[in-house]
Amino acid sequence: MNSLGKIMLVAVAVLFLFPTNSDAQFRHRGNWLGPVLTLATDPIGFGVNFEHGVSQNVGLGGILRYWGKSGGEGGYDWSWSIIMPQFQAAYHFMPGDQLDPYAGGRLGWAIYSYESDFWKASDDGGLFLTAYGGLRYFFSPKIAGNGSLEFRVAGDDYFGGSLQLSVGVDFTL
């Protein structure tokens, strides 16, 4: 079984460990914060996600992501990293339910850096826009699992593909 399969197996097992609660839901004036992993990239990215319910169906917030990789090749060492701060807005189709499907968009900025034994560079990769959709499942009023697919609409491609898969855990503040 590959690592993505193991992650999915653990996620399904966790569904059965946590009791359900009808008070768990997306709501107006609610706040959620949690870690996120971006799995469909090499390397896997990690970051933090925040959302605030500004109305019954709309959430606004941000996500900050980081990717980094290093190695050696041809007798020299190298490393690169990308930091992507993003503003996000999402529409929640079933507010008040334990199962919370949503869709939205993200506007962000890519900050790219590369360093080797012979060369060092950094670049503000520029503005990018993505569309995303996902599903949040509230295990309890305070903990939710979150998964989403994201499609890059405009901006540079740093990962050899415009589709990304992210999973995370959200904590109600």
- Spell out the domain ranges in the chain: 21-172
84, 65 in Cβ contact below 8 A? Answer: yes
Residue 153 and residue 128: Cα distance in Å, rounded?
Answer: 8
CATH number, domain 21-172 = 2.40.160.20
Residue 165 and residue 160: Cα distance in Å, rounded?
Answer: 14
Beta-carbon neighbour count of residue 134 at 10 Å? Answer: 19
Find all residues with CB under 8 Å of 16, minimum gap 6, and list them. Answer: none
Question: Phi then psi for 40, rounded to 5 degrees?
Answer: -90, 35
Report pTM: 0.79
Find all residues with CB under 8 Å of 130, minimum gap 6, and list them. Answer: 86, 105, 106, 108, 150, 151, 152, 153, 155, 164
Which segments of the chain have a pLDDT < 50?
4-6, 8-10, 12-22
Residue 170 and residue 50: Cα distance in Å, rounded?
Answer: 8
pLDDT number for residue 96: 82
Radius of gyration of the chain from its Cα atoms, rounded to whole angstroms: 18
